[in-house]
Structure 1
Amino acid sequence: MPRKPASTETDVLIAGGGMAGLSLALALAQGGLSSTVVDALAPETVTDAGFDGRVSALAYAVCRMYRALGVWPHMAHHAQPINDIVVTDGTVRGGASPLFLHFDHREIGEEPLGHLVENRHIRLALFAAARDVSAITLIAPGRVTGYSATPDGVTGTLADGRQVHARLLAVCEGRQSALRAMAGIRTIGWSYRQTGIVTTVAHEKPHHGVAQEFFLPSGPFAILPMTGNRASLVWTERTELADALLALDAEDFAAELRARFGDYLGAVEPVGPRWSYPLSLQIATDMIAERVALVGDAAHGIHPIAGQGLNLGLRDVAALAEVMAQARGLGLDPGAFDTLERYAQWRRFDTVSLAAVTDVLNRLFSNDIGPVRLVRDVGLWAAGQAAPLRRFFMRHAGGDVGDLPKLLRGDSLAA
């Protein structure tokens, strides 16, 4: 992807070149639209092994999109299929409840429920796919410091004084977006007073592609299978306890980790650095303004309890690219407000409903109240006995329900 000065004119100015921003640029290019992507960090910074220790569970519909965009071949050998998901409840000392919920991908087809890929390798794959796409211009490091919108277009001002004229400003710069505030879009939400601890472990026995979601009183303890005999842990704790855990030396931290992990995969050893992330809910009151569309974390940040945060943002990408490509194909203005309103309406229910579901699940399972624990254990077991409900949950987690954009069905926008 050529790193050259921004052209004066482009179809879409994308503020933020993370996973959502780069995915949007590729999708727009397939739909016949050019973009200029501006990101605060250089590619070599965001693809460094020490930049981001997280992995993402890419839903199978998102994997279809990445195949359609030509991204998948660049990450396939780093992707671990998710064959099964086991959901259990319990305590650190008491272990897991005998009542649990099991999702087996074979119930809904041959396609895995998704793939686990390290965020670093997702970014590397996106850069590789975009490298030779002439419709994409990357400015990184750089920053969109302001913009002005008119009924005919938008002009973004960069930190170095350059101006980029476009039909749309797509804001993909994350939860703390300054451009969102400039657009007059407010957010609602709250802190969970929880911290997500992320690290990688090596284990003795093969995981067979089984992801574990172990609900403990302080929050979920997710064991996510990676390539080889490795797993990524997303360990949710109350913030005050998380701070104490992160301050432990290597031996004591490993002991606390093993107490929660158990021995079902044999000997377990932390092999990577520790990262931590504060957890909160944040939803924008609207996803659009005049000549502005919010995408990804700029529009919504949810609890990682179901591993759906990135998938939610990539569903934004697929929807926005499609409505803009359709408008272009009809000879209409792809950045006009009626085009953006179609995008907002398409994404509104999915965003609000998933935010509500993850919020309720976190509150229901992040406590140690006896009667509540009994109800949720029985609920997990009952859901596991109802095959239609179980299959619906799997399809929903895979992003394969509702009115899907073309890319999430695996179809090209160029067709």
Structure 2
Amino acid sequence: MSEHNFFDGDAIIVGGGLAGLTLALAMDQAGLRVAVVDTLPIDTQLAPEFDGRASALAFTSWRLFEALGIADDLRPYTTRIEHIMVCDGRPYGGTRPGGPGPHSLHFDRREISEGPEGEPLGWMAENRHTRMVLARAVLARPNIISIAPAMAERYEARPDGVDVLLADGRRLSGKLLVACDGKFSRIRAQARIRSVGWNYGQKGLVATVRHAEPHNGVAYEYFLPSGPFAILPLPDNRASLVWTEPSDVADALQAADADVFQQELENRFGDFLGELRPEGPRWAYPLGLKFSEDFCAERIAFVGDAARGIHPLAGQGFNLGIRDAAALAEVCGEAKRVGLDIGALTTLRRYEGWRKFDSASLAAGTDIFNRLFSNDIEPLRQLRGIGLSIVNQIGPARRFFMRQAGGDTGEPPKLLRGKRLDAA
């Protein structure tokens, strides 16, 4: 290492969120020496009040965690998703309760996984617990250098590598720069990579509730005139809500006093899980679609939200980042083993080809679903409900959607099949 360089290795990951930490572990297993740069110290990101969100980890994402050796550490903080119910929400107001409507699409994990302890459709975990497990694993790997808090100001590409200059004057050198710095990626902007997208004029209100009746591992996604309303099972008779409303309504609900919030919650949630009690703070996040024109450039790869940010209605945001990490780590690991340049555009185009079509399909699907279901036009509502009921009667269609959502179609990367990257 040059005396002027703080790090000189294979890959520099800018962004130490969930996708960035997952990628660091995957690349380490693939035999790469990695640095992770983030603006926040890890202990700040572990605080309960830091985020509030929870993520549904698809079954292929869990296989990756098992292959990376961290699933057992995360398991105590998770809930298995045994069923997913998708339906038009019942109209609320007056004396009518909210809750799931009469037309539904039921996904049952027993259709694709046999036995009482077979692979579930997914695992629910609060992001703070997932981040804690990932962070501890990263800090325990000697070939991963964690640099936080630190600001990556700019990068300088060279014919045989790339340098990242930090705000404090330190210089990091590698063969590849990976942008994991979110939907509004500074690296993507510096690289002049265009993106397309739009705001939905909606915000996702995130909160945790405790309910009297057990959820039995069932996740609900029902559609109300204002947008999707997701009830995601957590340990100990709790659920994480992702509640979509027009931005001004979401802001008002976030600021509402306890009695008003309770009433509005009950109007939408219904009483099918018994008495409800909100727990902890509320958060509101703006929702939009942003899709990068390219997933790579010379010496740069885009991963997670830096590649695309989608509507949360399918619960696929973090899973897409995990799939990116699995593909990029495998591509770069194989390239290094045969003596190829991991940052060369010819290497990175393989990653882009592996991930771009899947990403575009899911982005388009969530956008169409949100527009189709976020309204209260009665004829359309009736057609939607009938459509859900029809698909519910077609077994092959149900099983296809379950495998599609789980990332188990086509030729998934090795980690998503539960295979280690350092195995012979």
Please tell me the TM-score bracket, short chain as reference. Answer: over 0.9
What is the Cα deviation at residue 271 of structure 1?
Answer: 1.0
Q: Of 245, 248, 253, which residue of structure 2 is paired with 1:240?
A: 248
In structure 2, what is the Cα distance between the partners aligned to 1:269 and 1:50?
18
Residue 34 of structure 1: aligned partner: 33
Q: Of 125, 133, 136, which residue of structure 2 is paired with 1:117?
A: 125
What is the Cα deviation at residue 151 of structure 1?
Answer: 2.2
What is the Cα deviation at residue 97 of structure 1?
Answer: 2.7
In structure 2, what is the Cα distance between the partners aligned to 1:116 and 1:144?
32
In structure 2, what is the Cα distance between the partners aligned to 1:141 and 1:74?
25
AA aligned to 2:109 is H
Q: Percent identity?
A: 55
Residue 92 of structure 2: aligned partner: 92
Q: Deviations 1:18-69 (Å, cap 9, x if unpaired)?
A: 1111111100110000101000000011110000000000000000001101
What is the Cα deviation at residue 6 of structure 1?
Answer: 7.2
Equivalent pair of 1:15/1:173 in contact (CA under 8 Å): yes
What is the Cα deviation at residue 244 of structure 1?
Answer: 2.0
SS at match of 1:272: strand
Equivalent pair of 1:148/1:154 in contact (CA under 8 Å): yes
SS at match of 2:64: helix
Residue 273 of structure 2: aligned partner: 265
Matched, 1:71 2:70: yes
Aligned 1:382-397 pairs, distance under 5 A: 382-397=390-405
Residue 15 of structure 1: aligned partner: 14
In structure 2, what is the Cα distance between the partners aligned to 1:92 and 1:311?
32
Residue 382 of structure 2: aligned partner: 374
Residue 105 of structure 2: aligned partner: 101
Q: Of 285, 288, 301, which residue of structure 2 is paired with 1:280?
A: 288
In structure 1, what is the Cα distance between the partners aligned to 2:364 and 2:320?
13
Matched, 1:82 2:99: no
Aligned 1:3-402 pairs, distance under 5 A: 7-90=6-89, 91-93=91-93, 95=98, 96-109=100-113, 110-402=118-410
What is the Cα deviation at residue 179 of structure 1?
Answer: 1.1
In structure 2, what is the Cα distance between the partners aligned to 1:284 and 1:351?
10
In structure 2, what is the Cα distance between the partners aligned to 1:246 and 1:191?
20
SS at match of 1:206: coil
In structure 2, what is the Cα distance between the partners aligned to 1:62 and 1:28?
16
SS at match of 2:281: coil
What is the Cα deviation at residue 289 of structure 1?
Answer: 1.1
SS at match of 1:317: helix
AA aligned to 1:396 is Q
What is the Cα deviation at residue 256 of structure 1?
Answer: 0.5
What is the Cα deviation at residue 332 of structure 1?
Answer: 1.0
Equivalent pair of 2:251/2:284 in contact (CA under 8 Å): no
Equivalent pair of 2:7/2:35 in contact (CA under 8 Å): no
AA aligned to 1:108 is I
Aligned Cα RMSD in Å?
1.1
In structure 1, what is the Cα distance between the partners aligned to 2:297 and 2:406?
30
AA aligned to 1:36 is A
In structure 2, what is the Cα distance between the partners aligned to 1:46 and 1:326?
33
Equivalent pair of 2:57/2:123 in contact (CA under 8 Å): yes
Equivalent pair of 1:201/1:232 in contact (CA under 8 Å): yes
TM-score, normalization by structure 2 = 0.95
In structure 2, what is the Cα distance between the partners aligned to 1:403 and 1:193?
36
SS at match of 2:231: strand
Q: Deviations 1:66-110 (Å, cap 9, x if unpaired)?
A: 110112122110010000011110322354431111111001002
In structure 2, what is the Cα distance between the partners aligned to 1:176 and 1:282?
9
What is the Cα deviation at residue 8 of structure 1?
Answer: 3.2
In structure 2, what is the Cα distance between the partners aligned to 1:181 and 1:130?
28
SS at match of 1:49: coil
In structure 1, what is the Cα distance between the partners aligned to 2:363 and 2:203?
18
TM-score, normalization by structure 1 = 0.97
Q: Deviations 1:114-141 (Å, cap 9, x if unpaired)?
A: 0000000010000122222111000100
Aligned residues: 411
Q: Deviations 1:382-415 (Å, cap 9, x if unpaired)?
A: 1100000001111111111111000000000001
In structure 2, what is the Cα distance between the partners aligned to 1:275 and 1:306?
19
Structure 1 runs (4+) deviating above 4 angstroms are none
Q: Deviations 1:264-304 (Å, cap 9, x if unpaired)?
A: 11100101110000000000110111100000011100000
In structure 1, what is the Cα distance between the partners aligned to 2:265 and 2:101?
19
In structure 2, what is the Cα distance between the partners aligned to 1:144 and 1:271?
36
Equivalent pair of 2:224/2:373 in contact (CA under 8 Å): yes
In structure 1, what is the Cα distance between the partners aligned to 2:203 and 2:273?
25
Structure 2 unmatched runs, 5+: none
SS at match of 2:280: coil
Equivalent pair of 1:6/1:139 in contact (CA under 8 Å): no
In structure 1, what is the Cα distance between the partners aligned to 2:127 and 2:304?
15
SS at match of 1:131: helix
Equivalent pair of 1:151/1:290 in contact (CA under 8 Å): no
Equivalent pair of 1:74/1:129 in contact (CA under 8 Å): no
What is the Cα deviation at residue 245 of structure 1?
Answer: 1.8
Equivalent pair of 1:148/1:155 in contact (CA under 8 Å): yes
Structure 1 unmatched runs, 5+: none
